[in-house]
Amino acid sequence: MKSQEKTFYIETFGCQMNAHDSEKVIGTLEHEGYRQVETEEEAGLILYNTCSIRDKAEQKVFHRLNDYKKLHKAGKRFGVLGCVAQQEGEKIFERAPYVSLVSGSASYRKLPEMLARLEAGETRITGLDDRQTEETFETEFTARQNPYRGYITIIEGCDKFCAYCVVPYTRGKERSRTSASVLEEARRIADLGYTEIQLLGQNVNSYKDPEGKLSFAELLAAVGQVSGIRRVRFTTSHPRDFTKDIVEAIDAYPTLCDHVHLPVQSGSTRVLKAMAREYTRDWYLERIAWIKSAKRKISLSTDIIVGFPGETADEFIETMDLLAEVQYDCVFGFKYSPRPNTPALVMIDSIPEAEKSHRLQVLLERQREIQRSNYANHLGEILEVMVEGQNPARGQIAGRSSQNKAVNFTTTSPIAPAPGSYMPVRIIATHPNSLVGEAV
Ligand code: SAH
Ligand code: SF4
Ligand code: F3S
């Protein structure tokens, strides 16, 4: 009967871990008899999978809830999932009383039970398992939304406690899946026709096989040898746990993509110490030197926070010098945002907003110049590109190189290549953020 049909809408904010969590949540809901719909208006249950990494990200969910709260009168139920849910907990019910479900990611394995309580009419259901949880969220009901890239979470949570960061509080403690279960999922993904796998973890290289069978580098190699898999990516690596054998694995197995995302956060050893990153500038640069001495040219990207409490103009220049030294292919730059519960919150956030914005702008402008010259080096090369989609307006096909660079290209073939297929492309023009080519 139509009126009894269970429907849900989900919107996801934040990182790839969150995006993949949503794939698992959707799979779980579908298994429980729910059908996903495209708009809040069509749905019986409205879910927001939230992010709390910076204040702006956190505000998004409260804007959404406010925009749609009128739908509560029409009998719709609201659930808040993810990092804001874990951080704010029951306070969300005070701020938005029409919300019936609040659950952090460490409690998703209890979703079927929470959904049953929701259907029975309960209004204040919480899943707020914190750092006590040892369990990971494994489900065979993943509804993969990405047609060409299969995500696999190999480690959940974070034990690093960087001074500025909410993640150790919102995602619980570091806990890894067994390598056997990861490899089984990799094989399942390959059987579904995926050729690209991305291994996920807030610190993916802190992976510790609970059965002690494989190290992270060995797991990379094993996933890279799964029949049918042509590309393996992994994100995010933490410098502290970055070992040389990761580079050796990339050299040994061409299926492991030639790209490492290694967040540095700051080029100043003093600031790194204040951030509790637990490495120095030199320690970080040593790891960069390993990566640069690989037989394959490995592309590097990073995250940087400007305006951390007490960051002086000279310390910011140290970060700028580090950019010039490393020559990243991509930098995600952020202004420091004070976050609840974090140790940095009590440090005096002494840098005016305008100065933070100025530093970010200087950083991103310099990085644009670096990328302009890095990307120009690809001119004339033939790269293997995995097709992701089309841009009919510009008559171009969009894809990505193994180094994760966007490549837009034309083909003389009358039939558009399918997403997920691979093509050799000659690079004929370059931009700071993308390459332009033609299929050969
Ligand atoms: N676990 C990864 C990334 C975590 S979050 C790592 O340790 O590198 C992604 C990025 O958000 C971080 O690398 C950092 O650059 C940024 N970030 C985290 N907390 C922040 C805050 N309070 N203000 C501004 N940026 C922040
Ligand atoms: Fe946050 Fe640091 Fe953990 Fe990364 S390593 S998630 S920045 S606490
Ligand atoms: Fe955001 Fe949580 Fe990811 S805070 S960045 S969704 S781990």
Q: Specify the ligand 3 atom closest to the Cα of 53.
A: 4
Report the distance separating Cα 30 and Cα 6, nearest Å: 9
Looking at residue 132, its pLDDT comes to 87
Domain limits at 163? 150-376
Looking at residue 133, its pLDDT comes to 86
Q: Does 432 map to a domain?
A: yes
Could you list the beta-strand ranges (E) of 55-208.
77-81, 99-103, 125-127, 149-153, 155-156, 175-176, 196-200
Distance 394 CA to ligand 2 centre (A): 40
Same domain, residue pair 286 and 244: yes
Answer whether 183's CB lies under 8 Å from 226's CB: yes
Q: Which residue has the higher pLDDT, 139 or 282?
A: 282
Helix (H, G, I), strand (E, B) or coil at 127: strand
Q: Does 40 map to a domain?
A: yes
Same domain, residue pair 274 and 411: no
Q: Assign residue 228 the CATH number of its domain.
A: 3.80.30.20
Distance 286 CA to ligand 2 centre (A): 20
The two three-digit tokens of residue 371, written as one number: 């990328």
Q: Does 137 map to a domain?
A: no
As a whole number, mean pLDDT of residues 376-385 equals 98
Helix (H, G, I), strand (E, B) or coil at 268: coil
Measured from the CB, is residue 155 less than 6 Å from ligand 2?
no
Same domain, residue pair 30 and 103: yes
pLDDT in tens, 145-187: 998 999 999 999 999 999 999 999 999 999 999 999 999 999 9
Looking at residue 392, its pLDDT comes to 74
**Of 82, 112, 127, which residue is a domain's last?**
127
Q: Specify the ligand 2 atom closest to the Cα of 277.
A: 2
pLDDT in tens, 389-427: 988 778 899 999 999 999 999 999 888 899 999 999 999
Answer whether 376's CB lies under 8 Å from 429's CB: no
Write the DSSP string, 325-379: HH--SEEEEEE----TT-GGGGS---S-HHHHHHHHHHHHHHHHHHHHHHHHTTT
Same domain, residue pair 78 and 205: no
The total number of structural domains in the chain stands at 3
Report the distance separating Cα 261 and Cα 374, nearest Å: 16
Same domain, residue pair 265 and 323: yes
Same domain, residue pair 370 and 394: no
Binding-site residues, ligand 3, Cβ < 6 A: 14-15, 17-18, 51-53, 82-83, 166-167, 170-171
Measured from the CB, is residue 240 less than 6 Å from ligand 1?
no
Of 222, 284, 214, nearest in space to 252 by CA: 222
Distance from first CA to last CA of the chain, Å, rounded? 54
Of 262, 265, 254, nearest in space to 292 by CA: 262
**Cα angle: 49, vertex 56, 25; to 5 degrees:** 5
Same domain, residue pair 422 and 336: no
Residue 216, phi-psi category: left (phi > 0), alpha (psi -120 to 50), beta (remainder): alpha
Q: Does 90 map to a domain?
A: yes
| Rounded percentage of the chain residues whose pLDDT exceeds 90 | 91
Inter-CA distances, 366 with 119, 184, 316, 359, Å: 54, 44, 13, 11
Looking at residue 131, its pLDDT comes to 86
Same domain, residue pair 308 and 177: yes
Q: Rounded to two decimals, what is the model's pTM?
A: 0.96
**Mean pLDDT score of the chain, rounded to an integer?**
96
* Nearest ligand to the CA atom of 349: 1
Mutate to test the pocket of ligand 2, among 159, 175, 238, 266 (most ligand atoms within 8 A of CB): 238
Q: Does 123 map to a domain?
A: yes
Answer whether 88's CB lies under 8 Å from 55's CB: no
Q: Does 145 map to a domain?
A: no
Q: Assign residue 14 the CATH number of its domain.
A: 3.40.50.12160
pLDDT in tens, 25-62: 999 999 999 999 999 999 999 999 999 999 999 999 99
Distance of CA 433 to the CA centre of its chain: 19
Q: Does 170 map to a domain?
A: yes
Same domain, residue pair 275 and 154: yes
Inter-CA distances, 194 with 25, 104, 150, 202, 387, Å: 20, 29, 6, 23, 13
As a whole number, mean pLDDT of residues 361-378 equals 98
Q: Does 133 map to a domain?
A: no
Looking at residue 3, its pLDDT comes to 52
As a whole number, mean pLDDT of residues 281-297 equals 98
Same domain, residue pair 363 and 404: no
Could you list the beta-strand ranges (E) of 60-107.
77-81, 99-103
Same domain, residue pair 349 and 427: no
Rg, Å, the chain Cα set: 23
Give the contacts of 370 (CB within 8 A, at least 6 positions apart).
Answer: 323, 324, 327, 328
Count of CB atoms situated within 10 Å of the CB of 73: 8
Task: Name residue, tokens 């993916």.
Answer: 204
Measured from the CB, is residue 165 less than 6 Å from ligand 1?
yes
The packing angle between helices 16-31 and 111-119, to 10°, is 60
Q: What is the DSSP letter of 265?
A: B
**Of 376, 403, 423, which residue is a domain's last?**
376
Task: Give the phi and the psi of residue 307 in degrees, each rounded to 5.
Answer: 75, 25
Measured from the CB, is residue 337 less than 6 Å from ligand 1?
yes
Q: Assign residue 387 the CATH number of its domain.
A: 2.40.50.140
Nearest CA to ligand 2 atom 2: 162
1 — pLDDT class (breaks 50, 70, 90): very low
* Nearest ligand to the CA atom of 345: 1
**Of 92, 127, 162, which residue is a domain's last?**
127
Q: Is residue 2 predicted with pLDDT exceeding 60?
A: no
pLDDT in tens, 234-270: 999 999 999 999 999 999 999 999 999 999 999 999 9
Inter-CA distances, 318 with 275, 306, 314, Å: 15, 11, 6
Same domain, residue pair 88 and 113: yes
